[in-house]
Structure 1
Amino acid sequence: MMIEDEYIRLIFGLKLKQIRTERNLSLFGLAKLTGLSKSYLNEIEKGKKYPKTDKILILSEKLETPYDHLVSLKLDKNLAPIGEILQSKILKEIPLELFGIKENNLIDIVANAPAKVNAFISTIIKIAQNYNLTRESFFLASLRSYQEAHSNYFDDIENDVEKFAESYHLDLSKKIDSNDLEEILIEEFGYTINSDELSKHDNLGELRNIFIAKNKTLLIDKNISEAQKIFIYAKELAYNFLTLNDRLFTFPWIKFESFDQVLNNFIASYFAGALIIPRKSITEKLNNFFALEEWNPSELEKIMNHFNCSQETFYQRLTNILPKYFNIKNLFFLRFTHKVNSPEFRLNKELHITQQQAPHANRNNEHYCRRWISLKTIQDLENNSKTKSTFGAQISSYVNQKNEYLVLSSATKDPFKKDINRSVSIGLLLSSHLKKKLNFFDENTFPKKLVGVTCETCAVKDCSERVAEPSRLEKQEKYKEIANTVEKIINSFS
């Protein structure tokens, strides 16, 4: 909760400003009326100062407002939601400065148009309630906004990775080994690595690691892959090298206590990806790949295999590098998961740079379009029990839209969840810039699919992949027809 004195100052300032504006008084006018200086009144309204009793009496008399009303913490109906925000943790938990916003400025904005802002706040609250938006979901949505605002590239973290490599004599031009990072954790940061403890607990099968801060013990699952191990080690090094103290202690996370933990988890993950896939190396390899005369997916696989990384880490890293070094900013990243034999595919990770490309996480329990390559690679994986992973590429175009995307997707089994498969995909807007950048690009090289977002909203006719009727679309069309008929009747009687 906000410190009581600070809260009292802010509430008094908001009430004074509201009363002043209701009286059509400027700050200059209120200063003339009360004999108090304009700068002093301005500081009161901004919540920086709280007036003494004699000054409150002057304000009460000149504004013809009861003294008790001025000093009461009870807010009028149109200011009540502001009070809730000020008392909540939200302004403290989310570092607004990341978005170039100062807390006092935000309060100023709210105070200047309380009715509009409060209506907006109430709407957001209702949306959150209707869609079961959890505190964690809100934090993650805020983080995505932060990433998208910076085109998901952070030069300071990239520089920190190179400083780290220089400090510990790591050659970033070569594939990094987990043993190298483990040695640094033990020798430099006093870690103890334990790979036996987690296997003793049946209910922890989905956890890759637990960090015990008191004695710097890292419990790590002995069955994880080399790529997963090096990512965990790299994140731990980031927490220590960057002194990120407010942190998460499990991977994957169980819960977030604050936005700082969300942000620091992202910074550590970004650091890990940049250490495993250094920007100089990946940029050189992508330049060579884009210069190829013909599309060859095996060449892309070679690049991936050059780095000690998972498919997801590689695709995520592309979302950092492509906007910055190739000016490919209209892109999206998606991660879908699917339980074998389930009709539901879940979109549980997404990032959209520059534009809000479809699809987005589905809050309406509708069925995602089965023509998406993201879903098809999962289906291909499940239909071929011998395959460890599947890869696919297609051009996706939407009904009644001009935008088309080149989408690359890979699917693998989830090593920690039984009968769960997942895919990671990156989609690139097919602009003239992209076509020039990809020397191998040819419209006829890639299969082209007309896609929707969900079956319930899709206008594609005779779709063999459809798993649900276009119910929402049909409802919209029905209401449109009714509106047209009503308009004709009205015009006939006019």
Structure 2
Amino acid sequence: MNIEKDYIKLIFGLKLKQVRTSKNLSLFGLAKITDLSKSYLNEIEKGKKYPKTDKIILLAEKLEVSYDSMVSLKLDNNLAPIGEILKSGILKEIPLEIFGIQENDLIDIIANAPAKVNAFISTIIEIAQHYNLTRESFFLAALRSYQEAHNNYFEDLEQKVLDFSNAFHVNINTKISVEELTAILIEEYGYTINEIVFSEHEQLGDLRSIFVPKSKTLLLSLDIDEPQKAFILAKEIAYNYLEISERLYTFSWIKFDNFDQVLNNFYASYFAGALLIPRQLLIDKLNVFLSKTNPKAEEMIELMGRFNVSPESFYQRLTNILPKDFQLKNLFFLRLSHQIGSDTYQIKKELHITNQQEPHANEMNEHYCRRWVSIKTIVEAIKQNKRHYFSAQISRYDNSSNEYLVFSSATLDPFKKDCLRSISVGILITPGMKKKFKFMENQTIPKQLVGVTCETCAVKNCEERASAPIQLEQKTRNENTDLIVQQYMTKFS
């Protein structure tokens, strides 16, 4: 059994705690009979220290157990589940530190009810396997939780962007050019930048860039447009300026080796977005747009065009700024993908800030509501053959009665043939929100009652329905059956 040194400390600490508590001894009591300090014993039990041989002999003697049983890595039945967890390495996979949790603290929790906690963790793992949740998906879910816990706003990164702009004399109040970003990478960080045709190799068709660390060469796909190129270059600057070494070398990512790569990829992306869409400039532009009483779709597209970014980067940036500077903390972000000719729409990316109830990814191959503006923009982009189709809608969700103002943009996916994607941001409608969005008063934005998936939707006479509400019908049948069972139980009690 190959267990790391840290885990050997943890196992010894757990065994010491188990023996001590089985003797009804407090830490104070054990310290008194061994002449070892209480703080030292506490650090042993938490797996922070491993005692020397003479101390182990002393502890074994005073606790009336054998030396061999104390140093053995074999755990009894009560602690065996913890051993399985430690051997699995799952605690190394969980990014505890970003949530302010110490591994030793978690071990302490597990030690108090090992069988129950092990059963819980095993259940989570089994659910993940059942729904094909990959290691990467687990990491990304942890990252989303981290973003949501901070309302997707990170002041330190915002300040780093300002520091960078001052240090490099970059005017962030104007649209930053690809040429300026390229010059910084070449002259300051010693990059070589080559543009090549990735599409010559089918396996590289989805990639936009590859970074070769040994020669500091950045390979860019010739198929990317200027906003995509600007984002990649800004992200490379972020890796260097933030002094990030544990990083990914392709964009889009192929795989993550560890959570640090996931987190650092997010930090670099956040920095790039904040550099290309400066906070104060975006606030000023949004204030002008929100003061309009009847803005047109073209005005939102024009607003996006003021920055050298893709629609996705713009919508992502909204999720940073709206919660922080407009106090709109109930919102969601969705990216949907659709293959022309198919009847499926897949959620490829999502983020929910504060409110978790509205549209979320479903891994059961159910059909997302065709009344979503996220899907309608894709349909209209195909019908009207537009490179960028924008629309807005007030969506009232049947399952909660919450209303959201949803902005959505649909564009062609440049890296997947005959494929479109839509990017959407939904903002919960509240009295406070209406005061900030002046155009909410004129009631010209279309309203629509929506569900989440057709299989779970109770909306009647829906002409857009792609599937019968089979999950809802099954739930109703079960509830009716239970009602009759309860009646019989009452009758024959």
TM-score (norm 2): 0.95
Unaligned runs of 5+ in 2: none
- Cα offset for 1:79? 2.9
Match of 1:371 in 2: 371
Is 224-233 or 10-19 further displaced after alignment? 10-19
Q: Deviation per CA, 1:185-219: give whole Å up to 9, x if none.
A: 11111111111353543431211111111111111
Q: Deviation per CA, 1:363-409: give whole Å up to 9, x if none.
A: 2111111111111111112223x311211211111225231111111
Q: CA 1:404/1:22 → structure 2, altered by over 3 Å: closer, same or farther?
A: farther
- Cα offset for 1:355? 1.4
Contact 1:94 1:260 in 2 (8 A): no
Alignment of 1:360-439 (within 5 A): 360-384=360-384, 386-439=385-438
Contact 1:295 1:445 in 2 (8 A): no
Instruction: Provide the alpha-carbon RMSD of the alignment.
Output: 2.1
Contact 2:197 2:223 in 1 (8 A): no
Is 123-132 or 47-56 further displaced after alignment? 47-56
Contact 1:344 1:367 in 2 (8 A): yes
Q: Distance in 2 between matches of 1:103 and 1:144?
A: 21
Match of 2:452 in 1: 453
Match of 1:105 in 2: 105
1:124 and 2:101 are equivalent in the alignment: no
- Cα offset for 1:57? 4.3
One-letter identity of the residue aligned with 2:428: L
Contact 1:381 1:387 in 2 (8 A): yes
Unaligned runs of 5+ in 1: none
Q: CA 1:469/1:109 → structure 2, altered by over 3 Å: closer, same or farther?
A: same
Contact 2:238 2:271 in 1 (8 A): yes
Match of 1:153 in 2: 153
Aligned residue for 1:50, secondary structure, equals: coil
Q: Deviation per CA, 1:431-476: give whole Å up to 9, x if none.
A: 1111111112137322111111111111111111111111111111
Identity %: 62
Contact 1:410 1:423 in 2 (8 A): yes
- Cα offset for 1:237? 0.7
Q: Deviation per CA, 1:210-235: give whole Å up to 9, x if none.
A: 11111111111112111011011101
Q: Distance in 2 between matches of 1:94 and 1:160?
A: 27
One-letter identity of the residue aligned with 1:387: K
One-letter identity of the residue aligned with 1:113: A
1:235 and 2:238 are equivalent in the alignment: no
One-letter identity of the residue aligned with 1:152: N
Q: CA 1:31/1:363 → structure 2, altered by over 3 Å: closer, same or farther?
A: same
- Cα offset for 1:48? 2.5
Q: CA 1:470/1:190 → structure 2, altered by over 3 Å: closer, same or farther?
A: same
Q: CA 1:412/1:41 → structure 2, altered by over 3 Å: closer, same or farther?
A: same
One-letter identity of the residue aligned with 2:18: Q
1:271 and 2:271 are equivalent in the alignment: yes
Match of 1:305 in 2: 305
Contact 2:191 2:218 in 1 (8 A): yes
Contact 2:377 2:390 in 1 (8 A): yes
Q: Distance in 2 between matches of 1:188 and 1:52?
A: 51
Contact 1:329 1:353 in 2 (8 A): yes
Q: CA 1:446/1:100 → structure 2, altered by over 3 Å: closer, same or farther?
A: same
| Residues paired across the two proteins, number | 493
- Cα offset for 1:339? 0.9
One-letter identity of the residue aligned with 2:328: I
One-letter identity of the residue aligned with 1:279: R
Q: Distance in 2 between matches of 1:327 and 1:2?
A: 51
Q: Distance in 1 between matches of 2:489 and 2:262?
A: 56
Q: Deviation per CA, 1:411-430: give whole Å up to 9, x if none.
A: 01101110111000000001
One-letter identity of the residue aligned with 1:325: D
Q: CA 1:393/1:15 → structure 2, altered by over 3 Å: closer, same or farther?
A: same
Q: Deviation per CA, 1:80-116: give whole Å up to 9, x if none.
A: 3433443455444555332122222222222233233
One-letter identity of the residue aligned with 2:332: F
1:491 and 2:490 are equivalent in the alignment: yes
One-letter identity of the residue aligned with 1:97: E
Q: Distance in 1 between matches of 2:483 and 2:22?
A: 44
Is 42-51 or 425-434 further displaced after alignment? 42-51
Match of 2:18 in 1: 18
Aligned residue for 1:195, secondary structure, equals: strand
One-letter identity of the residue aligned with 2:247: R
Q: CA 1:357/1:28 → structure 2, altered by over 3 Å: closer, same or farther?
A: same
Q: Distance in 1 between matches of 2:148 and 2:369?
A: 25
- Cα offset for 1:68? 3.2
- Cα offset for 1:147? 0.7
Q: Deviation per CA, 1:342-381: give whole Å up to 9, x if none.
A: 2221101001111113222212111111111111111112
Match of 1:133 in 2: 133
Q: Distance in 2 between matches of 1:101 and 1:262?
A: 18
Match of 1:75 in 2: 75
Q: Distance in 2 between matches of 1:485 and 1:313?
A: 54
Q: Distance in 2 between matches of 1:22 and 1:431?
A: 56
- Cα offset for 1:54? 4.7
1:355 and 2:358 are equivalent in the alignment: no
One-letter identity of the residue aligned with 2:166: E
Contact 1:197 1:219 in 2 (8 A): no
Q: Distance in 1 between matches of 2:461 and 2:2?
A: 58
Aligned residue for 1:441, secondary structure, equals: helix
TM-score (norm 1): 0.94
